[in-house]
Amino acid sequence: MVTKKIEQALNKQIELEASSSQYYLAMASWAENNGLSGVAAFFYQHSDEERMHMLKLIKYLNERGGKAIIPALKQPPKDFKSLQYAFDNLLKHEVMVSNEINKLVDDCLKEKDYTTHNFLQWYVSEQIEEEALARTILDKLNLIGNDKGGLYLFDRDLQNISVQSAAADNAGGKK
Ligand code: FEO
């Protein structure tokens, strides 16, 4: 059984994962409308992953005697001024999510909720991967600068990353 405090904290995280999914969906749609099909595939895939993060939390909270609340969400931005800007925001957003997960882990220790603490370790590892991936992509973008040929290859690379990531998810690698 989770305490009220942990129930509230998990519901806050459910909302954050849901809004992350919407945010990346907005980036995917923007990229698709700008001819960047690989970047779009990457963000569509990332949006799906965030939804899966949200679902895991909903199911866990309900299983532990809490009540998961499905949140209303704010509309994400319609436009992103550049690829650099979009990926910069991806990294900033993931760093913020990592901080929130850390606070949640800390709440669990304070409440002596070792079961939820254990459950959240999956999210701690996931955040390390997500931040590292965002940094790697930003480094690539910085190398490319304004080179059109480089951008073509970058878009193709992101398509490949998305295909591999989807295959890993289907094989149960991320769940
Ligand atoms: Fe679910 Fe990217 O944090």
Segment 57-77, tens digit of pLDDT = 999 999 999 999 999 999 999
| Banded model confidence at residue 175, pLDDT cuts 50, 70, 90 | very low
CATH number of the domain where residue 148 is located: 1.20.1260.10
Question: Is the CB of residue 18 below 6 angstroms from any atom belonging to ligand 1?
Answer: no
Residue 124 in domain: yes
Amino acid at position 51, single letter: R
The least confident of 9-13, 17-21, 103-107, 148-152 is 148-152
Q: Which domain holds residue 111?
A: 4-170
Residue 112 in domain: yes
Q: How many domains does the chain have?
A: 1
Contacts of 42 (CB under 8 A, 6+ apart): 28, 31, 158, 159, 161, 162
What mean pLDDT value characterizes the chain? 95
Nearest CA to ligand 1 atom 2: 94
Cα three-residue angle 79-74-81, rounded to 5 degrees: 15
Residue 76 in domain: yes
| Banded model confidence at residue 173, pLDDT cuts 50, 70, 90 | low
pLDDT digits (tens, 9 = 90+) for 21-53: 999 999 999 999 999 999 999 999 999 999 999
pLDDT value at 174 more than 60? no
Q: Which of 27, 134, 144, 19 is nearest to 81 (CA)?
A: 27
pLDDT value at 11 more than 70? yes
pLDDT value at 54 more than 80? yes
**Ligand 1 center to residue 44 CA distance, Å?**
13
Ligand 1 atom closest to residue 46's alpha carbon, by position in its atom list: 2
Torsion on CA atoms 133, 76, 66, 10, rounded to nearest 10:
40
Residue 117 in domain: yes
pLDDT value at 18 more than 90? yes
Per the CB < 8 A criterion, the answer to whether 94 and 134 are in contact is yes
**Backbone φ/ψ region at 80: left (φ over 0), alpha (ψ -120 to 50), beta:** beta
pLDDT value at 3 more than 70? yes
Residue 132 in domain: yes
**Ligand 1 center to residue 148 CA distance, Å?**
30
pLDDT value at 111 more than 60? yes
Nearest CA to ligand 1 atom 1: 50
Residue 37 in domain: yes
pLDDT value at 79 more than 50? yes
3-state secondary structure of 45: helix
Question: Is the CB of residue 53 below 6 angstroms from any atom belonging to ligand 1?
Answer: yes
Question: Whole-model pTM?
Answer: 0.93
Question: Is the CB of residue 162 below 6 angstroms from any atom belonging to ligand 1?
Answer: no
Residue 136 in domain: yes
Residue 175 in domain: no
Ligand 1 atom closest to residue 50's alpha carbon, by position in its atom list: 1
